[in-house]
Structure 1
Amino acid sequence: MKRINLFFMTASLAGVLLISAAFSNCEQETTVKPLKASASNKGFAVVELFTSEGCSSCPPADALVEKIQQDNFNSQIYILAYHVDYWNHQGWKDRFSDREYSNRQRQYASWLNIPSIYTPQIVVNGKAEYVGSDQGSILPAISTALEQPSISALTLHGTIENGKAHIEYQATGKQENTALILALVQQSAQSSVKAGENAGSQLSHVQIVRQLRQVSLNSDAKKDITLHLPKDFTAKGWELVGFVQQQSNGKITAAARLNFQAP
């Protein structure tokens, strides 16, 4: 786990669960049985990972979320991997990194009263944070989140045209001081790292956040937003994850995903 001193910045910013896991060290295989919720429960878990290709402690966390993703595909678990930029000075620039993702992590430090930011870090539903490779804490946290009914609801619809994604959204329920966060996600990628702490490694990534947008919510009305898509975007292999987040404390109250279809 790698920590750095925190400099606060303003960021513009489902029932019994069956879990069986065996996780030893970062070189060994992670086995995670599906995390399931009863049909009568509308719980969800937004799992936000802060990671970096330049951090030698991060590959085990990347492997953990990849296994959770594989074993719980299309479930109410929404994994988002933010590649922070503050390790880029260690000899390797993470091609997926962005200052905006580092600032989001700093915002969580403020919300959760954390004295420093570090990688790998996982935040579940905006309520609690964990060392990103700590499966023994993260899986129960996801299970608990899946048991909690949502206090609001979110629907997403979208079309792709001329390099743009036109998204229609509607959030209903309690919305006082809330925002809609939209994350454009590349579902997988590989990187050959040539320098830095992971020099010589072939890294595997899932659910890479490539674009992040925030919209204030002040009514139940349907609204829309347009996203400019990256040049390497393809309808297959990408998705949009949206969630409603309270801006006073970071708690997430609803989530949804949109799987893109070719026009």
Structure 2
Amino acid sequence: MSRGLFSCLGRGRSHDRPAATADTASEENRRGGVVLVELFSSQGCATSPEAEVLLSRLGRGDFELDVPVIVLAYHVDYWDYNGWKDPFGSSSSTVRQKAYVEALRLDTLFTPQFVVQGGAQCVGTDQEAMLSAIASAPRFPAPTFQATFQRPSPDSLQVTLSGALRNKIDGQGAKVMVALYESGLVTDCTRGDNKGKVLANDYVVRGFEKLCSVKDISAKKTVSGTTTFPLWEGFSGDKCGVVVFVQNAAHQILGVQSIALPENL
């Protein structure tokens, strides 16, 4: 399926790597740390369910990898006109994917798409390309944030983070981003290209905020900030988690950390 500037892709190969990786960590540091794998998906895309299965398997450790990973799924909204409105789709996810399209010099938006460590991408149904991109991705020490959580109101979650980025940030600067995700989602799809299917989705980004911007700071300097997420009906902390990552102006990921929510939040 292909309409206008958007494509919903199947098994075709597309695997791009950056010409150069970020120079903010030593080679020793590159061999450590965690790799962030982001999936851009839509319930309105016929091939996205296959990619969602790959992401879920990756997140629960089904693949024998030498590299630790953290996964997130962003549901875009540009397929919502195609007979089925994705209940998890958002314009902010589409904007994030567009930024990667520009940074990776791609011709168009498409789903499903994996982006690995902000610097490589492949079709979301291509398991081989996805695993190859993970294996070859640059790696950086994870931040050491400590988190506190509060519920200022029944429909909001406040997250306060404080810790070191463990990577020097140069004059080009970087952003510290926070994603709130939810797993164990099940949807009966009654229209569109996935009509009649029961769709399972994990690690779905339900909120995405900037904690702070940083520039010219050492790896050991303490960084702090607070962000608040609006919550949805049926929110359960047992199904959710928080991912914090550092991303530079070239959209490369310079460190990522996963934080569990406390019980009985």
Q: What's the TM-score, normalizing by structure 2?
A: 0.79
Is the CA contact (8 Å cut-off) linking 1:154 and 1:255 kept in structure 2? no
Give the letter aligned to residue 90 of structure 1.
N
Residue 229 (structure 1) shift? 3.8
Change (3 A) 1:167 1:58: same
From the superposition, tell whether residues 45 and 149 of structure 1 become closer, same or farther in structure 2 (CA, over 3 Å): closer
Q: Name the residue aligned to 1:29.
A: none
Task: Name the aligned partner's letter for residue 247 of structure 2.
Answer: Q
Aligned residues: CA RMSD? 2.3
Unaligned runs of 5+ in 1: 7-24, 26-39
Q: 2:33 & 2:223 partners in 1: Cα distance?
A: 23
Residues 77-117 of structure 1 deviation map (CA, whole Å, 9 limit, x = unaligned): 11110000000000100000000100100000111000101
Question: Are the counterparts in 2 of residues 3 and 119 from structure 1 also a CA contact under 8 Å?
Answer: no
1:136-156 C-alpha deviation (Å, 9 max, x unpaired): 1101211223xx441673424
Match of 1:33 in 2: none
Residue number in structure 1 paired with 2:180: 184
Q: Tell me, in whole angstroms, the C-alpha distance in 1 between the residues paired with 2:144 and 2:174.
A: 13
Give, in whole Å, the separation in 2 of the partners of 1:209 and 1:136. 25
- Which secondary structure does the structure 1 equivalent of 2:81 belong to? helix
| Alignment-derived partner of residue 234 in structure 1 | 236
Letter in 2 for 1:161: R
Pick closer, same or farther for the CA change 1:83–1:194 going to 2, 3 Å. same
Most deviating of 135-144 and 251-260:
135-144
SS in structure 2 opposite 1:53? Answer: coil
Give the 3 Å change call, closer, same or farther, for CA 209–4 of structure 1 in structure 2.
Answer: farther
* Residue type at the aligned position of 1:68: L
Question: What's 2:5 paired with?
Answer: 5
Compared with structure 1, are the counterparts of its residues 157 and 76 closer, same or farther at alpha carbon in structure 2 (3 Å cutoff)?
Answer: farther
8 Å CA contact 1:159, 1:166 repeated in 2: yes
Report SS of the residue matched to 2:192. coil
User: Which of 213, 216, 219 is equivalent to 2:213?
Assistant: 216
The structure 1 residue matched to 2:37, chosen from 47, 54, 58, is 47
- Alignment gaps of 5+ in structure 2: 12-29
Counterpart secondary structure, 2:93:
helix
* Counterpart residue type for residue 198 of structure 2: Q
Corresponding position of 1:260: 261
Q: Residue 158 of structure 1 aligns with which residue?
A: 148
- Shift of residue 70, structure 1, vs aligned partner: 1.9
d(CA) in 2 for partners of 1:228 and 1:149?
Answer: 29
TM-score when normalising by structure 1? 0.79
4+ residue segments displaced more than 4 Å: 1-4
Q: Check conservation: 2:97, 2:109, Cα contact below 8 A.
A: yes
Q: Which residue of 1 aligns with 2:26?
A: none
How far apart, in 1, do the equivalents of 2:191 and 2:126 lie? 26
Asked if the contact 1:48–1:123 (Cα under 8 Å) also holds between the matched residues in 2, the reply is yes
The answer to whether residue 199 in structure 2 is matched with residue 203 in structure 1 is yes
What fraction of aligned residue pairs are identical, expressed as a percent?
28
Deviations 1:158-215 (A, max 9, x none): 2233342222133242223211111100022011101011111101101000011123
**Count of equivalent residues:** 227
Contact 1:156–1:257 under 8 Å retained in 2: no
Distance 1:4 1:125, change over 3 A: farther
Moved more, 82-91 or 64-73: 64-73
Tell me the distance in 1 between the aligned counterparts of 2:33 and 2:226: 26
2:131 is aligned with 1:139: yes
SS state at 1:90 partner = coil
Report if aligned partners of 1:54, 1:90 keep a CA contact under 8 Å in 2. Answer: yes
From 93, 98, 118, the equivalent of 1:106 is 98
